[in-house]
Amino acid sequence: MDIVRRIGVPPKLRGSASATTCPDVFELSDGNFAVIGTEATADLKDKLPADAGVADYERVVIVSRETLVRAKADIPDA
């Protein structure tokens, strides 16, 4: 699997001080998405709705609102 493209704008255009280390969203060659965010599994796992869960191989990550809003235009409808 490979990264095909960034979804949204680069961190530099969202005000990242280092221009590289900020939340980000990428489309993968298999059609899935990879997300870089702040790890928050311990803080949020017990607060998830009853019909949601986190497998041992999954993590809850926080992505800034601006990151997702600016990615919205690049996310395919189907």
DSSP string computed for 44-71 = HGGGS-TT----TT---EE--HHHHHHH
**Widest Cα–Cα separation across the chain:** 38
Is the entire prediction scored with pTM above 0.85? no
What phi and psi values does residue 77 have, to the nearest 5 degrees? Answer: -75, -25
- Position 16 scores a pLDDT of 67
pLDDT digits (tens, 9 = 90+) for 4-38: 999 888 777 777 666 566 788 999 999 999 999 99
The Cα 22–Cα 68 span in angstroms is 12
User: How far from 60 is each of 5, 37, 56, CA to CA, in Å?
Assistant: 22, 9, 11
